Amino acid sequence: MEPLRLGVLVSGSGSNLQAILDAIRKKRLDATVCLVVSNQPKALAIERARRAGVATAIVNHKDYDSREAFDRALVTKMREAKVQWVVLAGFMRLLTPTFLEAFPHRVLNIHPALLPSFPGINAQQQALDYGVRVSGCTVHLVDSGTDTGPILAQSVVDVRADDTVDTLSARILAREHVLFPKVLQWIAQGRVHIMASNGSSGRVLVQLDGVRASVGVAGAR
């Protein structure tokens, strides 16, 4: 089997990108990162990619007059690199249908909460404010909603009585670094099957090893 060809979108430090690169280097992930693209010229993630010998590109959203124009530029870069799956590793921009329709059901995100609870920004603070006893992270397919796509996997952490946003975030991030490469390896092994219906509901069925893993509704909010 050929290695999975990944394109990674980043905006910040790129610790999840590093976890993916490390998993590839240690032969735990049968993939290659073909391209890392950032909308932030000074993102540390770009330096991580360059140190690993991975091709990089800067596509600054400020250079475009619409989200759609920006996304078209991203699509062009990904297609030029012959990317199969797109990974959002701390990418702080909402993707439009212009991008999502170019890679249907092949865009992955990791979110620092147990979706569908606490979507959007500041998920760790949301969890603390609500008073939950457990939180964690979720790997999901990206759709046109905000963290509403079908869930592929989750990892749970306890919320401690003395937790702050920083301490909870650190423990969740450590789980992200394990979970994200693991799910990508499932995809590389052909264990994840995504079947989109042709119905107007836009329902997406995800199966892992033939067992239903998640059902999502595209565009649900």
Q: Which of 105, 111, 140, 177 is catalytic?
A: 111
The domain that contains 180 carries what CATH number? Answer: 3.40.50.170
User: What's the total number of domains in the chain?
Assistant: 1
What is the DSSP code (8-state) at residue 159? P
pLDDT at residue 197, as a whole number? 54
Query: Does any domain span residue 90?
Result: yes
Query: Does any domain span residue 204?
Result: no
pLDDT at residue 198, as a whole number? 45
pTM for this entry: 0.90
* 87: helix, strand or coil: strand
Query: Does any domain span residue 169?
Result: yes
Token digits for 188?
């590389």
Query: Does any domain span residue 198?
Result: no
pLDDT at residue 194, as a whole number? 82
Query: Does any domain span residue 216?
Result: no
Query: Does any domain span residue 187?
Result: yes
The continuous run of DSSP H or E covering 37 comes out as strand 31-38
Q: By percentage, how much of the chain surpasses pLDDT 70?
A: 91
Query: Does any domain span residue 89?
Result: yes
What is the domain range of residue 102?
4-191
Calpha distance 118→169 (Å, rounded):
14
* 140: helix, strand or coil: strand
Residue 111 catalytic?
A: yes
